[in-house]
């Protein structure tokens, strides 16, 4: 992981519970205890009802592909990996994450299915920062 | 019935910097601003010293200082390429309120020259995200680099939802290039202005190299230099100057998100809201529009926006181009300058939309585009829509000529 050349997130107080979970392989999500809705990215205030009572819970780690694209041009560490597939993932618990999609052939985008199921996995970029990636799984 | 702000101000002039596109020697953004501002002052006969409101996408105070102005209204709204449509909206309100009576909306951007002198982005970007973009901690790690890499996701979703294809949207690039071949100031005017200039075919667009599948290079806008400026004045001043007024009949602005992570519907933009506001203020509707200037950072941007503005049903925006309605000689000319796709796109393209809309509606395009003949339409009404960010922010204007 010392050779992780791509951008590495810098956890802050608001997002720290997510990164703590990621380090132990858990997908933690923020949820408002007032309206019970999940939001992503993590916030100090619920964007739905504006309550500031936010809790973290362990999510299933399952989701579906909302939409995707194949990047043929990238910069920095990602430039070495083109083509690669980026996708927005609908989380089973609600809201959406961006990922680089795994388990797909970037040269056959027509074989990638919107709505197809995906599961989260984590890659250790540093000892403390494990980045979530989503992988296509069998329906 | 029109709203109280409708026609409370007019655009009375619109001009560009001398050299735009790919200048032989690199330009600075300030130079592009100043050349355009001087040109619009000469065009209208309104002295620069008479300007009392300054509107720019950032840098309003620096430009004011450079000109020795001490404006009483300073607006630096910078929310991407639609900022300039919003500036006109804000100027309209400020003029109606009696705070100012001569507003300068200005833009200078050396998208091309900056690359020539500083190189392209390194993409090393902070993985921690930007403090002013809290969602970016969860998007920066995933190799998204620049607008094309995001907008492509919208094309995929539109294709999925409506059964459209990238080739359907390629029609937008082909028709927009037809317009560029009528505008000598367009980068892609001819083989003389650019090795890849002149007319293009659907096959050219479909088989160009992939930038971010499903977007090929020819689905994407140019990166050029541009300077542009417009003057917005009170009705009294608009009636007294030597140029013709183009009335701001309607204006609206909105946004759906900033980071694309928060874009709920990838096949829709807030132009539905900003457009509805503008039409309502104008007391007009899409059926009253005789032409349209629609931000085309990518073919998908223009296609979706045409749907949002009610110019075509959902899922069918591209048919305006495919069926020739948006083309030269069609019933609804769109992007008559050749668009961001083939005329000029400096990074934020909303000023180019304004300048072209003014030229067409005021008839100054007839006299020439910076000295070169270039009349394209006889339209008297135009809907102008800017889109900023990642299909994030929108500003819509309904403009009408006397």
| Averaged pLDDT of chain A | 96
Structural domains in chain B (count): 1
Taking each continuous run of H as one helix and of E as one strand, the counts in chain B are 13, 11
Residues from chain A that touch B145, judged by Cβ atoms under 8 A, are 71, 73-76, 78
Rounded (10°) angle between helices B350-362 and B83-96: 60
Helix (H) or strand (E) holding A131: strand A130-136
B124 lies in some domain:
no
B134 lies in some domain:
no
Over range B80-88, report the average pLDDT. Answer: 97
B349: phi then psi, degrees, rounded to nearest 5: -100, 0
B37 lies in some domain:
yes
Write the DSSP string, B361-384: HHSHHHH-BTTB-------SEEEE
For residue A107, give how far its alpha carbon lies from the nearest alpha carbon of chain B (Å). Answer: 10
Q: Is the pLDDT of residue A120 over 90?
A: yes
Could you tell me which residue, B368 or A124, shows the higher pLDDT?
A124
pLDDT computed for residue B130 by the predictor:
62
B185 lies in some domain:
no
CB-based contacts of B17, cutoff 8 Å, min separation 6 = B27, B31, B32, B33, B35, B36, B39, B108, B225, B226, B227, B228
CATH number of the structural domain spanning residue B369: 3.40.47.10
Helix (H) or strand (E) holding B149: helix B147-162
Find the radius of gyration of the CA atoms of chain B: 20
- Count the helix, strand and coil residues of chain A and give each as a percent rounded to the nearest 5: 10, 35, 50
pLDDT computed for residue B377 by the predictor:
86
Range A16-136: architecture per CATH: Beta Barrel (2.40)
Best B135, B136, B141 residue to mutate vs chain A (most A CBs within 10 Å) = B141
Q: Is the pLDDT of residue A66 over 50?
A: yes
What share of chain B has pLDDT > 90, as a percent?
87
CA B366 to each of CA A29, B289, B291, B360: distance values in angstroms, whole numbers, following the listed order:
59, 20, 16, 8
Which of A52-61, A124-133, B132-141 bottoms out in mean pLDDT, i.e. has the lowest? B132-141
B307: phi then psi, degrees, rounded to nearest 5: -70, -45
B206 lies in some domain:
no
pLDDT computed for residue B320 by the predictor:
98
What share of chain B has pLDDT > 70, as a percent?
94
ipTM score of the complex? 0.95
Cβ contact A38:A91 at 8 Å = yes
pLDDT computed for residue B119 by the predictor:
67
Rounded (10°) angle between helices B147-162 and B166-180: 120
Cβ contact B369:B250 at 8 Å = no
In the block, which residue shows the tokens 């780690």?
A: A61
For chain B, the straight-line distance linking the first and the last C-alpha, in angstroms and rounded, comes to 18
Tens digits of residue pLDDT in B21-79: 999 899 999 999 999 999 999 999 999 999 999 999 998 999 999 999 999 999 999 99
Structural domain of B355? 10-115+222-401
pLDDT computed for residue A113 by the predictor:
97
Residue A81 touches partner B, C-beta closer than 8 Å: yes
B209 lies in some domain:
no
Tens digits of residue pLDDT in B187-213: 999 999 899 999 999 999 999 999 999
Q: Please tell me which of the candidates B120, B128, B266 has its beta carbon nearest to residue A10.
A: B128
Residue B124's pLDDT band (cuts 50, 70, 90): very low
> 3-class DSSP state for residue B348?
coil
B3 lies in some domain:
no
Q: Is the pLDDT of residue A5 over 80?
A: yes
Residues from chain A that touch B266, judged by Cβ atoms under 8 A, are 66-67, 88
Q: Given an 8 Å threshold on Cβ–Cβ distance, is A69 in contact with B127? A: no
CA A118 to each of CA A65, B214, B227, B235, B253: distance values in angstroms, whole numbers, following the listed order:
7, 21, 47, 59, 37
In the block, which residue shows the tokens 């000529």?
A: B401
| Averaged pLDDT of chain B | 93
Rounded (10°) angle between helices B299-308 and B271-282: 50
Tally of CB atoms within 10 A around B18: 15
What share of chain A has pLDDT > 90, as a percent?
95
Residue B14 pairs in a beta bridge with B230
Alpha-carbon distance B371 to B160, whole Å?
Answer: 46
Alpha-carbon distance B219 to B202, whole Å?
Answer: 11
Q: Please tell me which of the candidates A69, A77, A109 has its beta carbon nearest to residue B149.
A: A69
Q: Given an 8 Å threshold on Cβ–Cβ distance, is A9 in contact with B141? A: yes
Residues from chain B that touch A81, judged by Cβ atoms under 8 A, are 143
pLDDT computed for residue B117 by the predictor:
76
pTM value surpassing 0.90? yes
Cβ contact B398:B278 at 8 Å = yes
Read off the tokens for A41.
């990215």
Q: Given an 8 Å threshold on Cβ–Cβ distance, is B209 in contact with A72? A: yes
Cβ contact B91:B8 at 8 Å = no
Over range A97-122, report the average pLDDT. Answer: 98
Over range B345-363, report the average pLDDT. Answer: 95
pLDDT computed for residue B123 by the predictor:
43
Tens digits of residue pLDDT in B250-287: 999 999 999 999 999 999 999 999 999 999 999 999 99
Residue B97's pLDDT band (cuts 50, 70, 90): very high
Closest CA to B377 of B324, B335, B320, B342: B335
Residue B364's pLDDT band (cuts 50, 70, 90): confident
Residue B24 C-alpha from the chain's centroid: 24
Cβ contact B6:B283 at 8 Å = yes
Residue B116's pLDDT band (cuts 50, 70, 90): confident
CA B292 to each of CA A2, B122, B289, B333, B397: distance values in angstroms, whole numbers, following the listed order:
53, 37, 7, 6, 10
Could you tell me the residue ranges of all domains in chain A? 16-136
Residue A114 touches partner B, C-beta closer than 8 Å: yes
Which of A1-15, A41-55, B139-153, B338-352 bottoms out in mean pLDDT, i.e. has the lowest? A1-15
Closest CA to A89 of A37, A21, A130, A135: A135
> 3-class DSSP state for residue B282?
helix
Q: Please tell me which of the candidates A9, A109, A114 has its beta carbon nearest to residue B137.
A: A9
For residue B158, give how far its alpha carbon lies from the nearest alpha carbon of chain A (Å). Answer: 9
**Is it true that the peptide bond before B214 is cis, omega within 30 degrees of 0?**
yes
Alpha-carbon distance B62 to B71, whole Å?
Answer: 12
Report CA dihedral (B280, B283, B289, B294) to the nearest 10 degrees.
-30
CB-based contacts of B6, cutoff 8 Å, min separation 6 = B248, B249, B250, B281, B282, B283
Chain B residues contacting A via beta carbons under 8 Å: 120-129, 134-135, 137-145, 148-149, 152-157, 160, 209-215, 259-261, 266
Cβ contact B132:B187 at 8 Å = no
B269 lies in some domain:
yes
Angle, CA of B110, B114 and B115, to the nearest 5°: 125
Alpha-carbon distance B105 to B83, whole Å?
Answer: 10
Question: In what order do the strands lie in the sheet containing B53-56?
Answer: B73-75, B53-56, B102-110, B225-233, B10-16, B246-255, B393-401, B381-388, B291-294
Alpha-carbon distance B185 to A42, whole Å?
Answer: 47
Residue B246 pairs in a beta bridge with B11, B401
Pairing of strands B53-56, A130-136: unpaired
């Amino acid at each position: 992981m010392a050779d992780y050349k791509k951008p590495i997130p810098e956890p802050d107080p608001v997002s720290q519970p997510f990164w703590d979970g990621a380090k132990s392989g858990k997908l933690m999500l923020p949820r408002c205890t007032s309206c019970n809705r999940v939001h992503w990215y993590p916030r100090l205030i619920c964007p739905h009802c504006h309550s500031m009572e936010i809790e973290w819970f362990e999510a299933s780690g399952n989701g579906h592909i909302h939409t995707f694209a194949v990047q043929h041009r990238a910069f920095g560490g990602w430039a070495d990996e083109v083509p690669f597939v980026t996708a927005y993932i609908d989380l089973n618990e609600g809201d959406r994450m961006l990922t680089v999609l795994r388990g797909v052939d970037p040269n056959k985008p027509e074989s990638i299915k919107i709505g197809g199921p995906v599961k989260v996995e984590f890659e250790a970029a540093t000892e403390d920062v494990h980045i979530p990636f989503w992988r296509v799984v069998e329906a | 019935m029109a709203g109280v702000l409708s026609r409370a101000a007019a655009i009375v002039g619109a001009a560009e910097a001398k050299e735009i596109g790919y200048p032989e020697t690199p330009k600075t953004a300030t130079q592009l601003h100043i050349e355009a501002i001087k040109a619009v002052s000469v065009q209208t006969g309104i002295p620069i010293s008479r300007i009392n409101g300054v509107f720019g996408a950032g840098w309003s105070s620096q430009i004011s200082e450079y000109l020795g102005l001490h404006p009483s209204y300073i607006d630096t709204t910078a929310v991407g390429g639609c900022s300039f449509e919003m500036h006109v909206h804000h100027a309209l309100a400020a003029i109606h309120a009696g705070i100012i009576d001569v507003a300068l909306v200005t833009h200078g951007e050396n998208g091309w020259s900056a690359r020539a002198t500083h190189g392209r982005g390194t993409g090393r970007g902070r993985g921690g995200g930007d403090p002013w973009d809290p969602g970016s901690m969860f998007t920066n790690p995933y190799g998204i680099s620049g607008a094309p890499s995001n907008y492509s996701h919208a094309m995929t979703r539109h294709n999925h939802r409506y059964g459209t294809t990238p080739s359907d949207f390629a029609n937008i690039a082909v028709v927009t290039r037809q317009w560029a071949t009528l505008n000598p100031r367009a980068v892609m005017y001819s083989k003389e202005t650019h090795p890849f200039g002149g007319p293009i075919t659907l096959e050219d667009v479909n088989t160009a190299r992939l930038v971010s599948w499903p977007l090929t290079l020819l689905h994407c806008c140019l990166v050029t230099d541009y300077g542009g400026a417009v003057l917005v004045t009170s009705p009294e001043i608009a009636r007294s100057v030597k140029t013709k007024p183009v009335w701001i009949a309607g204006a609206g602005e909105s946004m759906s998100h900033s980071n694309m992570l928060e874009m709920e519907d990838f096949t829709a933009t807030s132009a539905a809201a900003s457009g509805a506001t503008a039409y309502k203020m104008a007391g007009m509707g899409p059926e009253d529009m005789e032409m349209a200037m629609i931000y085309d950072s990518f073919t998908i941007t223009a296609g979706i926006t045409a749907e949002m503005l009610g110019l075509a049903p959902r899922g069918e925006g591209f048919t305006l181009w495919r069926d020739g309605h948006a083309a030269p000689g069609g019933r609804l000319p769109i992007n008559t300058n050749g668009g961001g796709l083939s005329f000029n796109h400096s990074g934020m393209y909303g000023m180019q939309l304004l300048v072209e809309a003014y030229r067409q509606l005021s008839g100054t395009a007839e006299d020439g585009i910076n000295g070169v003949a270039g009349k394209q339409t006889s339209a008297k009404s135009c809907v102008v829509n800017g889109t900023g960010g990642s299909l994030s922010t929108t500003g819509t204007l309904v403009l009408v000529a006397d």
